Structure 1
């Protein structure tokens, strides 16, 4: 089953003193382009988180965000008492003022607060990993749902190309008659005596160059292969892109051989449907 590279997943876990939020966004990309933003206190765990993400998402432009919000009384910022007292002492030499006002001024000075780096809590990190995995489930569900929409669109457009191909084959006989008539008219306008047998041989050779039987067979095979690819268990956008190139090659050849306006109009419609498939295929995982 195909999956889209576009997706979004989010999971929130509330701990006694912290709120942990994991957010994952993805867009289409030729390869895996992973951008992870984690708090500095968990920087040493970033590689582990990246490995989990890359194994699950495999391809796309991924933005991962880990937010940790303090909701309780615990804090890792402390007042640097020695520095604050020194600031107050210096301020007293400058101006006479109320102790409270001097304290307000001192606490805003550089280095008045010191942040103590917390050691990583194993239990807390285990909760973070749970949040990451839940967010991955959500984004993969999103990708699968988007993939189902893409699949339906692909099937409808492939069916349209097949229908147009049938119309091409329906008018193929009249196209050949039209080409023959144009050639005979062109020869008759030369007002020269022509060996009829030689003319028939040249006509057969000429018409063989306009035969589209091989292109028709190959195009049908490519369309069937495209269906098999989107119904397989794997989601391989690169394979679909390759098949669309082959489909385009056969449609272009039919167009170059058609030499008949009604058929060329049908070919233009086939190309239009194929371009829409190519655009959407870029978003397939």
Structure 2
């Protein structure tokens, strides 16, 4: 299946304890490279998050951002961390003995010390479960977007394959006439130069010229590669690497065709082939 590696997805949920927002962005990459940006309270979910990514995606650089907003319940009971508060009070008395003229520390200032004032413990287990479920839905949504864009890339490649086939057909159609013209030109030049040459030797040279100009093998291989690209586009797994290899093979045959060109028309066909192949190659780089 042709899936693009470029996509975006967002997933938000609101619960009694607050809200979670996932944002996922993916771009093309040679391998699967997830990057997770998580609040500290969610660090322990990272292995499970990576497993979800591996379950749904094969390639691409995937950036995942989690925003977590906790609703403060004004009716919840507050408690004081007495051991910490006693230690702070003891430290304050020691400071007062060293600096007798210092204004005593107010109790409200002690309450502002991190960890002194505590709210009821939040059950992070259920929140983590919600975060994982929402994350998987976000990845599924991301994959759906990648599939839609991949379908467009597939249509683009199929269109270029048709154009390549048209160029190959043009070369096939013109080759017999071109070889005949080349043969006549060689004979004419020899006659104009009044060069005497053995008929057998002349025939050998003409056969050699025809062999050098013969591109049937290259065009056959181009047709074979085109058939294989079409087949790979319908495979139900990640196909980006295979398509990239086939683009290299198509380009190799186009280069050989260009090197064997014997007139401006075949040269132009070879140039057109290279343009179409390069256009496909650029798009293939973004296919998973």
- Asked if TM exceeds 0.5, the reply is yes
Query: Superposition pairs for residues 68-217 of structure 1, below 5 Å?
Result: 68-73=68-73, 81=85, 112-114=113-115, 121-188=124-191, 190-217=193-220
Give the 3 Å change call, closer, same or farther, for CA 193–225 of structure 1 in structure 2: same
Write the distance in 1 (CA, Å) between the matches of 2:69 and 2:122. Answer: 17
User: What is the TM-score normalised by the length of structure 2?
Assistant: 0.85
2:251 corresponds to 1:254: no
**Contact 2:251 2:277 survives alignment (8 Å):** yes
Root mean square deviation, CA, Å: 3.0
SS of residue matched to 2:23: strand
Question: Which residue number in structure 2 is paired with residue 66 of structure 1?
Answer: 66
2:42 corresponds to 1:45: no
SS of residue matched to 2:194: coil
Write the distance in 1 (CA, Å) between the matches of 2:275 and 2:265. Answer: 16
**Contact 1:78 1:113 survives alignment (8 Å):** no
Write the distance in 2 (CA, Å) between the matches of 1:42 and 1:167. Answer: 62
Write the distance in 1 (CA, Å) between the matches of 2:27 and 2:209. Answer: 50
User: Could you list the runs of 5+ residues in structure 1 that have no partner in the other structure?
Assistant: none
The CA deviation string for residues 122-161 of structure 1, in whole angstroms up to 9 with x for no partner, is 2222211110111011101110011011011001111111
Deviation at 1:85, TM superposition (A): 6.0
Deviation at 1:78, TM superposition (A): 8.1
Give the 3 Å change call, closer, same or farther, for CA 222–204 of structure 1 in structure 2: same
User: What is the TM-score normalised by the length of structure 1?
Assistant: 0.86
Write the distance in 2 (CA, Å) between the matches of 1:134 and 1:205. Answer: 65
Write the distance in 2 (CA, Å) between the matches of 1:77 and 1:151. Answer: 62
Write the distance in 2 (CA, Å) between the matches of 1:21 and 1:263. Answer: 58
**Contact 1:251 1:271 survives alignment (8 Å):** yes
Deviation at 1:259, TM superposition (A): 2.0
Give the 3 Å change call, closer, same or farther, for CA 198–123 of structure 1 in structure 2: same
Give the 3 Å change call, closer, same or farther, for CA 257–120 of structure 1 in structure 2: farther
**Contact 2:2 2:151 survives alignment (8 Å):** yes
**Contact 2:58 2:238 survives alignment (8 Å):** no
Write the distance in 2 (CA, Å) between the matches of 1:13 and 1:77. Answer: 30
Write the distance in 2 (CA, Å) between the matches of 1:82 and 1:227. Answer: 76
